[in-house]
């Protein structure tokens, strides 16, 4: 270890205030927002609010460091408005020794996997406070802490800017759809309107095959495969099959559309076009519909971008059946959805533009992966 560097236990570095145990009767439609774990993991997650007085120690201000220690372990710098802190999240109070707060954030982040190994609970993993306090981190002099933070912040900033570029390209793609085809609801360009059932000759559920998460066996789609509105190969399930030929009718081909028809109501109707990579063999699994288009009527990429529009979402919302734990839309109801159909040549022009955008996105994703590799290498160098 470098001269002047020490090893400290987290419990000796700062104090950690667990959030308030809010109950449903504390929730309101107005007041101060309540920070729950989902609000840390997903910036678009909805907030609960509270309009009663809660002790001030549970108030989080911009710049505070938060650590979720149950269900989903993580460390965050809060950048939102003042809010109340829910239970299962620590607020760090820097009241023991001089330490750069962002240095602590990175140091704790480097120990998350180590904490997970010692986490308790069968269904909801959580870190015991004693184990958390005893977790050891490096403690260099403050100037070194600040230098390390500056380096890691620089890499983090590059990654965030690259991710913003991806969002801008996604916005460009959707903007291109509206520029070329207009608003589907008003259909000011007068495109012929057809029923979805007339545009696709195959709309069926997938194979009912027992599957496991993690690599090993034949990949098979799950609901999570469409997470984020893209085809996530890292969120496939796997099936131990002796003969793939038995399921040949379920093997995906380029141009197939996958549509979520059983899920939470927010995700019903999520549609993604599949494009085969190399010689991969992926089986279409249960709870996702597979739509094969009539090639002379509609292109998969046009349908995918149409599914992002208010016209499509509204029709799906009017047809879905909502239950307590999940929602669904039947094939019969899905077939009645109306779709403006531009000439196939116009759709092909749109597909070419989207292809160019996707190529730019792939270059940026490659750059993100390279920068993340460098970031992880520096984290490992400093903290592990």
**Residue 263 pLDDT grade (very low, low, confident, very high; cuts 50, 70, 90):** confident
Non-local CB neighbours of 15 within 8 Å, separated by 6+ positions:
92, 93, 95, 96
Q: Output the average pLDDT for the chain.
A: 91
Residue 239 has pLDDT above 90, yes or no: no
Three state DSSP letters for 308-356: CCHHHHHHHHHHCEECCCCEECCHHHHCCCEEEECCHHHHHHHHHHHHH
Structure tokens at 9: 């236990």
Q: Encode pLDDT of 130-185 as tens digits.
A: 989 999 999 999 999 999 999 999 999 999 999 999 999 999 999 999 999 999 99
Specify the pTM. Answer: 0.80
**What is the Cα–Cα distance from 291 to 282, expressed in whole angstroms?**
15
Q: Among the ranges 124-138, 258-272, 356-370, which has the highest mean pLDDT value?
A: 356-370
Task: Please tell me the least confidently modeled range out of 106-115, 181-190, 238-247, 290-299.
Answer: 238-247
Say which range, 56-70, 81-95, 96-110, 125-139, has the weakest mean pLDDT.
Answer: 125-139
Residue pLDDT, tens place only, 302-322: 999 999 999 999 999 999 998
Burial class of residue 21 in the structure, from the number of CB atoms within 10 Å of its CB (0-12 exposed, 13-18 middle, 19+ buried): exposed
**DSSP secondary structure code for residue 128 in this structure:** -
β-strand partners of 28? 49
Structure token digits, residue 266: 């927010």
CB-based burial, 53-66: b 16+ in 10 Å, e otherwise: ebeeebebeeebbb
What is residue 258's predicted lDDT score, i.e. its pLDDT?
Answer: 96
Flag whether pLDDT at 201 surpasses 90: yes
Mean predicted confidence (pLDDT) in 226-244: 85
In whole angstroms, give the CA distance from residue 91 to residue 79.
13
- pLDDT bin (cut points 50, 70, 90) of residue 289 is very high
Indicate the pLDDT class of residue 120, thresholds 50, 70 and 90: low
Give the C-alpha distances (Å, rounded to integers) separating 142 from 101, 109, 139, 152.
11, 19, 9, 15
Confidence of residue 6 (pLDDT cuts 50, 70, 90): very high
Residue-level pLDDT at 42: 81
Distance CA 260, CA 327 (A): 10
CB neighbour class for 315 (10 Å; exposed up to 12, middle 13-18, buried from 19): buried
Query: What is the rounded average pLDDT of the residues 340-350?
Result: 98
Q: How confident is the model at residue 216 (pLDDT cuts 50, 70, 90)?
A: confident
Q: Cα dist. 110→7, 73, 83 in Å?
A: 14, 12, 27
21-30, 117-126, 209-218: which has the minimum mean pLDDT? 117-126
What is the number of H-type helices and E-type strands within the chain?
A: 11, 22
Give the tens place of pLDDT for each residue, 321-343.
988 778 899 999 999 999 999 99
The pair of three-digit structure tokens given for residue 298, joined into one six-digit string? 């509609």
Q: Mean pLDDT lowest for which of 90-94, 148-152, 205-209?
A: 205-209
């Amino acid at each position: 270890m470098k001269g002047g560097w020490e090893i400290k236990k987290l419990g000796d570095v700062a104090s950690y205030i667990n959030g308030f145990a809010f109950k449903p009767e504390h929730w309101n439609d107005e007041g101060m927002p309540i920070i729950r774990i989902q609000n840390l993991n997903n910036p678009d997650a909805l907030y609960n609010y509270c309009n009663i007085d809660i002790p001030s120690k549970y108030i989080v201000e911009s710049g505070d460091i938060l650590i979720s220690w149950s269900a989903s372990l993580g460390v965050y710098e809060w950048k939102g408005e003042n809010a109340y802190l829910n239970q299962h999240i620590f607020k760090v109070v820097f009241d023991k020794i001089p330490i750069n707060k962002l240095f602590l954030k990175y140091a704790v982040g480097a120990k998350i996997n180590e904490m997970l190994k010692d986490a308790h609970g069968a269904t909801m993993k959580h870190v015991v406070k004693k184990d958390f306090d005893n977790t050891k981190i490096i403690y260099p002099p403050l100037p070194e802490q600040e230098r390390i933070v500056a380096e890691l912040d620089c890499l983090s900033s590059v990654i965030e800017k690259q991710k913003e570029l991806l969002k801008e390209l996604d916005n460009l793609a959707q903007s291109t759809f509206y520029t070329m085809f207009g608003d589907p609801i008003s259909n000011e360009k007068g495109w012929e309107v057809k029923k979805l059932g007339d545009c696709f000759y195959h709309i069926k559920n997938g194979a009912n095959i027992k599957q496991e998460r993690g690599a090993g066996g034949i990949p098979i789609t799950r609901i999570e495969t469409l997470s984020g509105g893209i085809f996530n190969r890292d969120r496939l399930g796997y099936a131990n099959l002796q003969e793939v030929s038995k399921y040949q009718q379920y093997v995906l081909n380029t141009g197939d559309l996958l549509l979520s028809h059983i899920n939470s109501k927010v995700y019903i109707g999520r549609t993604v076009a599949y494009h085969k990579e190399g010689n991969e063999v992926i089986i279409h699994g249960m709870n996702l519909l597979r739509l094969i288009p009539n090639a002379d009527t509609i292109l998969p990429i046009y349908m995918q971008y149409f599914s992002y529009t208010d016209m499509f979402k509204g029709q799906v919302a009017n047809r879905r059946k909502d239950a307590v734990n999940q929602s669904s839309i039947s094939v019969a109801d899905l077939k009645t959805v109306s779709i403006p159909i531009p000439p196939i040549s116009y759709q092909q022009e749109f597909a070419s533009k989207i292809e160019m955008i996707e190529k730019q996105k792939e270059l940026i994703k490659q750059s993100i992966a390279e920068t993340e590799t460098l970031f992880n290498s520096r984290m490992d160098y400093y903290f592990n």
